[in-house]
Amino acid sequence: MKQLTEIINEIKIKETVGDINTSVEGITDNSGLVKPNFLFFAIKGITHDGHEFIDNAIEKGCKVIICSYLPDKIHEDVCYVVVKNIRESVYNISSKFYNDPAKKIKIIAVTGTNGKTSIVFFIYKFLNSLGIKVGMLSTIENRIADKRIKSHLTTPSPVQLHMLLDNMIKNSCEYCIMEASSHSIDQKRIMGRDIFIGIFSNLSHDHLDYHKTFINYINTKKILFDDLPKSSYSIINSDDKRSEYLIQNTKSKVFSYGLKTLSDYKGKIIESGTSGIMIHIDNINVSFKIIGDFNAYNLLSVYAVAKILKIDSEIIFKRLSQLNTPEGRMDFIQGKNNVIGIVDYAHTPDALKNVLKNISSFKKDAKVISIVGAGGDRDKSKRPEMGKIATQLSDYVFFTSDNPRDENEDNILSDIVKGAVRKNYQVISDRKKAIESAYLNYKKDSIILVAGKGHEKYQIIGEKSIPHDDKEILKKLIL
Protein backbone atom coordinates (compact mmCIF):
# COMPACT_ATOMS: atom_id res chain seq x y z
CA MET A 1 0.00 0.00 0.00
CA LYS A 2 1.21 3.50 -0.88
CA GLN A 3 -0.07 7.01 -0.27
CA LEU A 4 -1.18 8.65 -3.52
CA THR A 5 0.66 11.87 -2.68
CA GLU A 6 3.87 9.86 -2.32
CA ILE A 7 3.73 8.23 -5.75
CA ILE A 8 2.61 11.30 -7.75
CA ASN A 9 4.88 13.88 -6.12
CA GLU A 10 7.22 14.09 -9.16
CA ILE A 11 4.52 13.92 -11.84
CA LYS A 12 3.62 16.88 -14.07
CA ILE A 13 -0.02 17.40 -13.15
CA LYS A 14 -2.57 19.59 -14.98
CA GLU A 15 -5.30 19.29 -12.37
CA THR A 16 -6.78 17.05 -9.72
CA VAL A 17 -10.41 16.39 -8.82
CA GLY A 18 -11.22 14.68 -5.52
CA ASP A 19 -9.21 13.87 -2.43
CA ILE A 20 -5.53 13.13 -3.19
CA ASN A 21 -4.95 12.16 0.47
CA THR A 22 -5.88 8.57 -0.18
CA SER A 23 -4.04 5.27 -0.19
CA VAL A 24 -3.47 2.94 -3.15
CA GLU A 25 -3.33 -0.84 -2.76
CA GLY A 26 -2.45 -1.67 -6.35
CA ILE A 27 -1.88 -0.18 -9.80
CA THR A 28 -2.85 -1.36 -13.29
CA ASP A 29 -3.41 -0.20 -16.86
CA ASN A 30 -5.89 -3.04 -17.46
CA SER A 31 -9.42 -2.37 -16.18
CA GLY A 32 -10.04 -6.12 -16.07
CA LEU A 33 -7.40 -6.44 -13.32
CA VAL A 34 -8.75 -3.67 -11.08
CA LYS A 35 -9.43 -4.53 -7.42
CA PRO A 36 -10.79 -2.39 -4.56
CA ASN A 37 -8.66 0.69 -3.79
CA PHE A 38 -6.63 0.33 -6.98
CA LEU A 39 -5.19 3.07 -9.17
CA PHE A 40 -6.09 2.82 -12.88
CA PHE A 41 -4.07 4.35 -15.71
CA ALA A 42 -6.32 5.48 -18.58
CA ILE A 43 -3.94 5.31 -21.54
CA LYS A 44 -4.93 6.25 -25.08
CA GLY A 45 -3.27 3.60 -27.24
CA ILE A 46 -3.25 2.74 -30.93
CA THR A 47 -6.43 0.64 -30.95
CA HIS A 48 -8.02 1.33 -27.54
CA ASP A 49 -8.53 4.39 -25.34
CA GLY A 50 -8.29 3.63 -21.63
CA HIS A 51 -10.58 6.56 -20.88
CA GLU A 52 -13.45 4.43 -22.22
CA PHE A 53 -12.84 1.90 -19.42
CA ILE A 54 -12.79 4.34 -16.49
CA ASP A 55 -16.37 3.58 -15.41
CA ASN A 56 -15.64 -0.14 -15.59
CA ALA A 57 -12.59 0.33 -13.36
CA ILE A 58 -14.60 2.38 -10.84
CA GLU A 59 -17.33 -0.27 -10.71
CA LYS A 60 -14.65 -2.74 -9.59
CA GLY A 61 -13.54 -0.51 -6.73
CA CYS A 62 -10.90 1.74 -8.30
CA LYS A 63 -10.33 4.89 -6.19
CA VAL A 64 -7.75 6.76 -8.31
CA ILE A 65 -7.75 7.50 -12.03
CA ILE A 66 -4.65 8.80 -13.79
CA CYS A 67 -5.77 10.26 -17.11
CA SER A 68 -5.02 12.72 -19.93
CA TYR A 69 -8.43 14.40 -19.66
CA LEU A 70 -11.41 14.25 -17.31
CA PRO A 71 -14.27 11.92 -18.23
CA ASP A 72 -17.79 13.34 -18.61
CA LYS A 73 -19.00 11.53 -15.51
CA ILE A 74 -17.24 12.37 -12.23
CA HIS A 75 -17.63 10.13 -9.15
CA GLU A 76 -17.38 12.02 -5.85
CA ASP A 77 -15.51 9.26 -4.01
CA VAL A 78 -12.87 8.89 -6.74
CA CYS A 79 -9.72 10.97 -7.18
CA TYR A 80 -8.88 12.00 -10.75
CA VAL A 81 -5.36 13.12 -11.61
CA VAL A 82 -5.01 14.71 -15.05
CA VAL A 83 -1.39 14.56 -16.19
CA LYS A 84 0.58 16.27 -18.96
CA ASN A 85 2.20 13.10 -20.29
CA ILE A 86 0.34 9.88 -19.55
CA ARG A 87 3.09 7.51 -20.77
CA GLU A 88 5.78 9.19 -18.69
CA SER A 89 3.45 9.31 -15.70
CA VAL A 90 2.70 5.58 -15.91
CA TYR A 91 6.43 4.81 -15.84
CA ASN A 92 7.22 7.18 -12.98
CA ILE A 93 4.23 6.24 -10.80
CA SER A 94 4.89 2.52 -11.36
CA SER A 95 8.50 3.04 -10.32
CA LYS A 96 7.47 4.86 -7.13
CA PHE A 97 4.82 2.29 -6.26
CA TYR A 98 7.39 -0.51 -6.41
CA ASN A 99 10.04 1.48 -4.51
CA ASP A 100 12.19 2.48 -7.50
CA PRO A 101 13.46 -1.05 -8.28
CA ALA A 102 15.50 0.07 -11.32
CA LYS A 103 17.84 1.87 -8.92
CA LYS A 104 18.52 -1.36 -7.03
CA ILE A 105 19.29 -3.70 -9.94
CA LYS A 106 21.58 -3.34 -12.96
CA ILE A 107 19.56 -3.37 -16.17
CA ILE A 108 21.20 -4.51 -19.40
CA ALA A 109 18.89 -3.57 -22.29
CA VAL A 110 19.29 -4.81 -25.87
CA THR A 111 17.75 -2.96 -28.81
CA GLY A 112 17.96 -3.46 -32.58
CA THR A 113 15.96 -5.08 -35.36
CA ASN A 114 17.42 -8.59 -35.12
CA GLY A 115 19.33 -10.49 -32.46
CA LYS A 116 17.73 -9.02 -29.33
CA THR A 117 16.33 -12.30 -28.01
CA SER A 118 19.54 -14.25 -28.65
CA ILE A 119 21.77 -11.65 -27.01
CA VAL A 120 19.51 -11.42 -23.94
CA PHE A 121 19.38 -15.22 -23.68
CA PHE A 122 23.15 -15.57 -24.04
CA ILE A 123 23.89 -12.92 -21.39
CA TYR A 124 21.35 -14.46 -19.01
CA LYS A 125 22.82 -17.96 -19.46
CA PHE A 126 26.40 -16.69 -19.23
CA LEU A 127 25.92 -14.76 -15.97
CA ASN A 128 23.81 -17.59 -14.57
CA SER A 129 26.65 -20.02 -15.28
CA LEU A 130 28.90 -17.89 -13.07
CA GLY A 131 26.52 -18.31 -10.13
CA ILE A 132 25.14 -14.79 -10.48
CA LYS A 133 21.39 -14.44 -9.92
CA VAL A 134 19.82 -12.84 -12.97
CA GLY A 135 16.39 -11.89 -14.26
CA MET A 136 15.42 -11.98 -17.94
CA LEU A 137 12.67 -10.23 -19.91
CA SER A 138 12.41 -11.45 -23.49
CA THR A 139 10.12 -12.32 -26.39
CA ILE A 140 10.37 -16.03 -25.55
CA GLU A 141 9.81 -15.84 -21.79
CA ASN A 142 10.52 -13.90 -18.62
CA ARG A 143 12.62 -15.33 -15.81
CA ILE A 144 13.19 -14.38 -12.22
CA ALA A 145 16.35 -16.31 -11.33
CA ASP A 146 15.32 -19.87 -12.36
CA LYS A 147 11.56 -19.26 -12.24
CA ARG A 148 9.91 -19.04 -15.67
CA ILE A 149 7.05 -16.63 -16.37
CA LYS A 150 5.11 -16.44 -19.64
CA SER A 151 5.94 -13.42 -21.80
CA HIS A 152 3.22 -11.50 -23.62
CA LEU A 153 5.22 -8.59 -25.04
CA THR A 154 8.84 -8.19 -26.14
CA THR A 155 9.09 -5.45 -23.50
CA PRO A 156 6.45 -5.44 -20.73
CA SER A 157 4.31 -2.47 -19.73
CA PRO A 158 5.82 -0.11 -17.10
CA VAL A 159 3.50 -1.57 -14.44
CA GLN A 160 4.61 -5.12 -15.21
CA LEU A 161 8.23 -4.07 -15.67
CA HIS A 162 8.55 -2.52 -12.21
CA MET A 163 6.60 -5.37 -10.61
CA LEU A 164 8.98 -7.88 -12.23
CA LEU A 165 12.05 -5.84 -11.26
CA ASP A 166 10.76 -5.68 -7.68
CA ASN A 167 10.33 -9.48 -7.67
CA MET A 168 13.83 -9.90 -9.07
CA ILE A 169 15.27 -7.81 -6.24
CA LYS A 170 13.29 -9.82 -3.66
CA ASN A 171 14.86 -12.94 -5.21
CA SER A 172 18.38 -11.46 -4.89
CA CYS A 173 18.93 -10.86 -8.61
CA GLU A 174 21.85 -8.57 -9.37
CA TYR A 175 21.03 -8.00 -13.04
CA CYS A 176 17.99 -7.81 -15.30
CA ILE A 177 18.71 -8.61 -18.94
CA MET A 178 15.92 -7.38 -21.21
CA GLU A 179 14.86 -6.64 -24.76
CA ALA A 180 14.03 -3.03 -25.57
CA SER A 181 11.71 -2.90 -28.58
CA SER A 182 11.24 0.31 -30.57
CA HIS A 183 7.58 0.35 -29.52
CA SER A 184 8.55 0.22 -25.85
CA ILE A 185 11.05 3.07 -26.21
CA ASP A 186 8.51 5.23 -28.03
CA GLN A 187 5.78 4.42 -25.49
CA LYS A 188 8.10 5.04 -22.52
CA ARG A 189 7.81 1.48 -21.27
CA ILE A 190 11.55 1.66 -20.70
CA MET A 191 13.72 4.69 -19.91
CA GLY A 192 17.39 5.07 -20.77
CA ARG A 193 18.01 6.86 -17.47
CA ASP A 194 17.58 3.52 -15.64
CA ILE A 195 19.84 1.45 -17.90
CA PHE A 196 23.28 0.21 -16.81
CA ILE A 197 24.34 -1.13 -20.23
CA GLY A 198 22.57 -0.42 -23.52
CA ILE A 199 23.39 -2.76 -26.43
CA PHE A 200 22.68 -2.05 -30.10
CA SER A 201 22.61 -5.12 -32.37
CA ASN A 202 21.69 -3.86 -35.86
CA LEU A 203 19.06 -1.93 -37.75
CA SER A 204 17.07 -2.95 -40.82
CA HIS A 205 13.58 -2.78 -42.29
CA ASP A 206 10.81 -3.42 -39.72
CA HIS A 207 7.85 -1.88 -37.87
CA LEU A 208 7.18 0.85 -40.44
CA ASP A 209 3.46 0.25 -39.92
CA TYR A 210 4.01 1.87 -36.50
CA HIS A 211 6.88 4.31 -37.08
CA LYS A 212 5.77 5.28 -40.64
CA THR A 213 9.30 6.15 -41.84
CA PHE A 214 12.70 4.52 -41.43
CA ILE A 215 14.19 7.70 -39.95
CA ASN A 216 11.46 7.70 -37.27
CA TYR A 217 12.38 4.08 -36.50
CA ILE A 218 16.09 4.97 -36.20
CA ASN A 219 15.40 8.04 -34.07
CA THR A 220 13.24 6.01 -31.70
CA LYS A 221 16.13 3.61 -31.08
CA LYS A 222 18.40 6.63 -30.60
CA ILE A 223 16.27 7.90 -27.69
CA LEU A 224 17.46 5.01 -25.52
CA PHE A 225 21.12 5.97 -25.97
CA ASP A 226 20.44 9.71 -25.73
CA ASP A 227 18.96 9.15 -22.27
CA LEU A 228 21.72 6.94 -20.86
CA PRO A 229 23.49 8.60 -17.89
CA LYS A 230 27.26 9.14 -17.59
CA SER A 231 27.54 6.17 -15.26
CA SER A 232 26.24 3.75 -17.91
CA TYR A 233 27.72 2.01 -20.96
CA SER A 234 26.78 1.70 -24.62
CA ILE A 235 27.85 -1.35 -26.62
CA ILE A 236 27.36 -0.88 -30.36
CA ASN A 237 27.77 -3.00 -33.48
CA SER A 238 30.39 -0.98 -35.37
CA ASP A 239 29.64 -2.90 -38.60
CA ASP A 240 26.16 -1.32 -38.73
CA LYS A 241 26.36 2.04 -40.50
CA ARG A 242 23.78 3.61 -38.16
CA SER A 243 25.67 2.84 -34.95
CA GLU A 244 27.66 6.09 -34.84
CA TYR A 245 24.48 8.11 -35.35
CA LEU A 246 22.70 6.30 -32.53
CA ILE A 247 25.36 7.18 -29.96
CA GLN A 248 26.37 10.66 -31.17
CA ASN A 249 24.57 12.38 -28.27
CA THR A 250 24.99 9.78 -25.55
CA LYS A 251 26.66 10.65 -22.25
CA SER A 252 27.50 6.98 -21.63
CA LYS A 253 30.88 5.31 -22.05
CA VAL A 254 30.88 3.71 -25.52
CA PHE A 255 32.40 0.38 -26.58
CA SER A 256 32.11 -1.30 -29.98
CA TYR A 257 32.18 -4.81 -31.40
CA GLY A 258 32.34 -6.08 -34.97
CA LEU A 259 33.73 -8.45 -37.57
CA LYS A 260 34.64 -6.05 -40.38
CA THR A 261 35.46 -2.62 -38.97
CA LEU A 262 37.87 -1.39 -36.32
CA SER A 263 36.26 -1.96 -32.93
CA ASP A 264 37.05 -2.44 -29.25
CA TYR A 265 36.05 -6.10 -29.39
CA LYS A 266 36.80 -7.42 -32.87
CA GLY A 267 36.25 -10.96 -34.04
CA LYS A 268 36.89 -12.99 -37.17
CA ILE A 269 34.98 -16.10 -38.21
CA ILE A 270 37.47 -18.93 -38.80
CA GLU A 271 35.01 -21.80 -39.35
CA SER A 272 31.23 -22.07 -39.64
CA GLY A 273 29.00 -25.10 -40.15
CA THR A 274 26.24 -27.27 -38.76
CA SER A 275 28.25 -28.05 -35.61
CA GLY A 276 28.90 -24.41 -34.69
CA ILE A 277 31.30 -21.57 -35.36
CA MET A 278 34.91 -20.79 -34.52
CA ILE A 279 35.76 -17.13 -33.90
CA HIS A 280 39.16 -15.50 -33.50
CA ILE A 281 38.85 -13.15 -30.51
CA ASP A 282 41.64 -11.61 -28.45
CA ASN A 283 44.32 -13.58 -30.34
CA ILE A 284 42.57 -16.88 -29.53
CA ASN A 285 40.47 -19.18 -31.72
CA VAL A 286 37.34 -20.06 -29.73
CA SER A 287 34.83 -22.75 -30.75
CA PHE A 288 31.15 -22.24 -30.01
CA LYS A 289 28.22 -24.65 -30.31
CA ILE A 290 26.10 -21.79 -31.66
CA ILE A 291 25.17 -22.08 -35.35
CA GLY A 292 25.00 -19.14 -37.77
CA ASP A 293 27.52 -16.49 -38.83
CA PHE A 294 25.21 -13.72 -37.56
CA ASN A 295 25.52 -15.25 -34.09
CA ALA A 296 29.19 -14.21 -34.12
CA TYR A 297 27.92 -10.65 -33.60
CA ASN A 298 25.65 -11.76 -30.77
CA LEU A 299 28.49 -13.60 -29.03
CA LEU A 300 30.83 -10.62 -29.44
CA SER A 301 28.28 -8.36 -27.77
CA VAL A 302 28.15 -10.75 -24.80
CA TYR A 303 31.95 -10.79 -24.71
CA ALA A 304 31.89 -6.98 -24.55
CA VAL A 305 29.47 -7.07 -21.61
CA ALA A 306 31.66 -9.59 -19.79
CA LYS A 307 34.77 -7.46 -20.29
CA ILE A 308 32.96 -4.37 -18.96
CA LEU A 309 32.09 -6.47 -15.91
CA LYS A 310 35.83 -7.22 -15.62
CA ILE A 311 35.49 -10.99 -16.03
CA ASP A 312 38.64 -12.84 -17.05
CA SER A 313 38.80 -13.78 -20.76
CA GLU A 314 39.58 -17.43 -20.04
CA ILE A 315 36.41 -17.74 -17.94
CA ILE A 316 34.39 -15.88 -20.58
CA PHE A 317 35.46 -18.21 -23.39
CA LYS A 318 34.95 -21.32 -21.30
CA ARG A 319 31.38 -20.37 -20.37
CA LEU A 320 30.36 -18.96 -23.77
CA SER A 321 31.62 -22.05 -25.59
CA GLN A 322 29.10 -24.12 -23.62
CA LEU A 323 26.05 -22.06 -24.62
CA ASN A 324 23.24 -23.33 -26.84
CA THR A 325 20.91 -21.23 -28.99
CA PRO A 326 17.54 -20.13 -27.59
CA GLU A 327 14.41 -21.91 -28.77
CA GLY A 328 13.35 -21.00 -32.29
CA ARG A 329 16.63 -19.35 -33.26
CA MET A 330 18.50 -21.46 -35.86
CA ASP A 331 16.86 -24.43 -34.15
CA PHE A 332 18.31 -27.53 -35.89
CA ILE A 333 16.61 -30.91 -36.33
CA GLN A 334 18.73 -33.62 -37.95
CA GLY A 335 16.29 -35.90 -39.74
CA LYS A 336 16.35 -39.10 -41.75
CA ASN A 337 17.41 -39.37 -45.42
CA ASN A 338 19.86 -36.49 -45.01
CA VAL A 339 17.12 -33.96 -44.27
CA ILE A 340 17.83 -31.06 -41.91
CA GLY A 341 14.98 -29.05 -40.45
CA ILE A 342 15.59 -25.49 -39.23
CA VAL A 343 13.08 -23.40 -37.30
CA ASP A 344 13.93 -19.72 -37.05
CA TYR A 345 12.15 -16.55 -35.92
CA ALA A 346 13.35 -14.64 -39.02
CA HIS A 347 10.43 -12.36 -39.85
CA THR A 348 12.24 -9.36 -41.36
CA PRO A 349 13.97 -9.17 -44.76
CA ASP A 350 17.42 -8.80 -43.18
CA ALA A 351 16.93 -11.72 -40.77
CA LEU A 352 15.64 -13.98 -43.55
CA LYS A 353 18.60 -13.04 -45.76
CA ASN A 354 21.07 -13.76 -42.95
CA VAL A 355 19.58 -17.18 -42.25
CA LEU A 356 19.43 -18.24 -45.91
CA LYS A 357 22.94 -16.97 -46.66
CA ASN A 358 24.24 -18.88 -43.69
CA ILE A 359 22.47 -22.06 -44.84
CA SER A 360 24.04 -21.66 -48.28
CA SER A 361 27.50 -21.71 -46.66
CA PHE A 362 27.03 -25.29 -45.43
CA LYS A 363 24.28 -26.77 -47.64
CA LYS A 364 26.70 -28.58 -50.00
CA ASP A 365 24.45 -30.53 -52.45
CA ALA A 366 21.27 -30.22 -50.39
CA LYS A 367 18.30 -28.31 -51.75
CA VAL A 368 17.15 -25.35 -49.61
CA ILE A 369 13.38 -25.33 -49.17
CA SER A 370 11.84 -22.36 -47.33
CA ILE A 371 8.45 -21.86 -45.73
CA VAL A 372 7.89 -18.10 -45.45
CA GLY A 373 5.01 -15.81 -44.50
CA ALA A 374 4.40 -12.34 -43.07
CA GLY A 375 2.27 -11.05 -40.21
CA GLY A 376 -1.09 -9.42 -40.76
CA ASP A 377 -1.87 -5.86 -39.54
CA ARG A 378 1.86 -5.14 -39.58
CA ASP A 379 4.43 -3.47 -41.84
CA LYS A 380 3.22 -4.21 -45.38
CA SER A 381 6.23 -2.70 -47.14
CA LYS A 382 8.56 -5.51 -46.07
CA ARG A 383 6.41 -8.25 -47.65
CA PRO A 384 7.63 -7.99 -51.29
CA GLU A 385 11.22 -7.84 -50.01
CA MET A 386 10.64 -11.08 -48.08
CA GLY A 387 9.31 -12.66 -51.29
CA LYS A 388 12.33 -11.46 -53.25
CA ILE A 389 14.88 -12.78 -50.74
CA ALA A 390 13.10 -16.12 -50.31
CA THR A 391 12.95 -16.85 -54.04
CA GLN A 392 16.50 -15.60 -54.65
CA LEU A 393 18.20 -17.63 -51.95
CA SER A 394 16.05 -20.81 -51.85
CA ASP A 395 15.74 -23.65 -54.33
CA TYR A 396 12.00 -23.68 -53.68
CA VAL A 397 9.62 -21.66 -51.49
CA PHE A 398 6.23 -22.30 -49.94
CA PHE A 399 4.57 -18.98 -49.12
CA THR A 400 2.12 -19.38 -46.27
CA SER A 401 0.23 -17.84 -43.36
CA ASP A 402 2.04 -16.26 -40.39
CA ASN A 403 -0.26 -14.68 -37.79
CA PRO A 404 -2.70 -13.04 -40.25
CA ARG A 405 -4.63 -11.45 -37.37
CA ASP A 406 -7.53 -9.41 -38.80
CA GLU A 407 -6.09 -9.11 -42.29
CA ASN A 408 -7.14 -11.22 -45.26
CA GLU A 409 -4.57 -14.01 -45.80
CA ASP A 410 -4.86 -13.81 -49.58
CA ASN A 411 -3.95 -10.10 -49.54
CA ILE A 412 -0.87 -10.76 -47.38
CA LEU A 413 0.31 -13.57 -49.63
CA SER A 414 -0.33 -11.48 -52.74
CA ASP A 415 1.93 -8.75 -51.31
CA ILE A 416 4.72 -11.29 -50.70
CA VAL A 417 4.44 -12.88 -54.14
CA LYS A 418 4.83 -9.45 -55.80
CA GLY A 419 8.48 -9.52 -54.75
CA ALA A 420 9.26 -12.99 -56.17
CA VAL A 421 12.10 -12.88 -58.71
CA ARG A 422 11.73 -16.52 -59.82
CA LYS A 423 8.77 -18.85 -60.26
CA ASN A 424 10.23 -21.34 -57.80
CA TYR A 425 7.34 -21.13 -55.36
CA GLN A 426 3.79 -22.06 -54.59
CA VAL A 427 1.25 -20.58 -52.22
CA ILE A 428 -0.34 -22.76 -49.53
CA SER A 429 -2.08 -20.55 -46.96
CA ASP A 430 -2.54 -23.33 -44.38
CA ARG A 431 0.80 -23.25 -42.54
CA LYS A 432 0.74 -26.88 -41.39
CA LYS A 433 -0.05 -28.08 -44.91
CA ALA A 434 2.73 -25.89 -46.31
CA ILE A 435 5.28 -27.54 -43.99
CA GLU A 436 3.93 -31.00 -44.85
CA SER A 437 4.07 -30.27 -48.58
CA ALA A 438 7.65 -29.06 -48.28
CA TYR A 439 8.67 -32.35 -46.73
CA LEU A 440 6.58 -34.59 -49.01
CA ASN A 441 8.14 -32.97 -52.08
CA TYR A 442 11.68 -32.77 -50.72
CA LYS A 443 12.05 -35.68 -48.31
CA LYS A 444 15.66 -36.46 -49.22
CA ASP A 445 18.92 -34.42 -49.27
CA SER A 446 17.25 -31.16 -48.31
CA ILE A 447 17.34 -28.37 -45.75
CA ILE A 448 13.83 -27.27 -44.80
CA LEU A 449 13.70 -23.81 -43.24
CA VAL A 450 10.48 -22.83 -41.49
CA ALA A 451 10.84 -19.08 -40.92
CA GLY A 452 8.87 -16.45 -39.07
CA LYS A 453 7.42 -17.93 -35.90
CA GLY A 454 10.37 -19.53 -34.12
CA HIS A 455 9.42 -20.21 -30.50
CA GLU A 456 5.75 -19.28 -30.94
CA LYS A 457 3.23 -22.03 -30.20
CA TYR A 458 0.23 -20.42 -31.88
CA GLN A 459 -1.25 -18.81 -34.97
CA ILE A 460 -3.16 -15.55 -34.45
CA ILE A 461 -6.20 -15.66 -36.71
CA GLY A 462 -8.69 -12.88 -36.08
CA GLU A 463 -9.00 -12.52 -32.31
CA LYS A 464 -8.10 -16.14 -31.63
CA SER A 465 -4.76 -17.81 -30.89
CA ILE A 466 -4.89 -21.23 -32.55
CA PRO A 467 -2.38 -23.85 -31.25
CA HIS A 468 0.43 -24.30 -33.76
CA ASP A 469 4.05 -25.38 -33.30
CA ASP A 470 6.40 -25.29 -36.33
CA LYS A 471 9.06 -27.37 -34.61
CA GLU A 472 6.72 -30.16 -33.50
CA ILE A 473 5.16 -30.40 -36.96
CA LEU A 474 8.59 -30.58 -38.56
CA LYS A 475 9.92 -33.14 -36.07
CA LYS A 476 7.01 -35.51 -36.71
CA LEU A 477 7.77 -35.37 -40.42
CA ILE A 478 11.53 -35.70 -40.61
CA LEU A 479 12.51 -37.78 -37.60
User: How sure is the predictor about 45, in pLDDT bands with cuts at 50, 70 and 90?
Assistant: confident
Q: What's residue 205's pLDDT?
A: 60
Average pLDDT over residues 426-439: 97
Average pLDDT over residues 154-173: 94
Q: How far is CA 121 from CA 135, 142, 179, in A?
A: 10, 10, 10
Task: In whole angstroms, give the CA distance from residue 297 to residue 238.
Answer: 10
Domain limits for position 76: 2-86
Q: What's residue 339's pLDDT?
A: 95
Query: Considering the chain, what is the average pLDDT of its residues?
Result: 93
Look at residue 93 and tell me if it is in a domain.
no
Question: What are the φ/ψ torsions at residue 179 (nearest 5 degrees)?
Answer: -85, 140
Nearest to 451 by CA among 361, 338, 375: 375
Q: Does residue 79 sit in the same domain as residue 115?
A: no
Task: In whole angstroms, give the CA distance from residue 381 to residue 399.
Answer: 16
Q: Does residue 373 sit in the same domain as residue 306?
A: no
Does 265 or 140 have the greater pLDDT score? 265
Query: CB of 393 within 8 A of CB of 368?
Result: yes
| pTM, two decimal places | 0.87
Look at residue 372 and tell me if it is in a domain.
yes
β-pair type (331-334, 339-344): antiparallel
Q: Per the structure, how many domains does the chain have?
A: 3
DSSP for 54-84, please give it: HHHHHHTT--EEEESS--SS--TTSEEEEES
Q: What's residue 48's pLDDT?
A: 82
- The rounded percent of the chain whose pLDDT value lies above 90 is 79
Look at residue 325 and tell me if it is in a domain.
no
Q: Does residue 429 sit in the same domain as residue 295?
A: no
> Residue 151: CB partners within 8 Å, gap ≥ 6?
137, 138, 139, 140, 141, 142
Per-residue pLDDT reduced to its tens digit, 383-416: 999 999 999 999 999 999 999 999 999 999 999 9
| pLDDT above 80 for 206 | no
DSSP for 278-340, please give it: EEEETTEEEEES---THHHHHHHHHHHHHHHTT--HHHHHHHHTT--PPTTSSEEEE-STTEE
Average pLDDT over residues 11-33: 95
Q: What's residue 155's pLDDT?
A: 78
CATH code where residue 17 lies? 3.40.1390.10
CATH code where residue 438 lies? 3.90.190.20
| pLDDT above 80 for 47 | no
Q: Does residue 416 sit in the same domain as residue 436?
A: yes
Q: What's residue 279's pLDDT?
A: 97
Which residue, of 320, 345, 363, is where some domain finishes?
Answer: 320
Q: Does residue 146 sit in the same domain as residue 58?
A: no
DSSP-derived secondary structure letter, 53: G
Query: CB of 158 within 8 A of CB of 189?
Result: yes
Which residue, of 61, 86, 111, is where some domain finishes?
Answer: 86
Q: Identity (one letter) of the amino acid at 341?
A: G
| pLDDT above 90 for 233 | yes
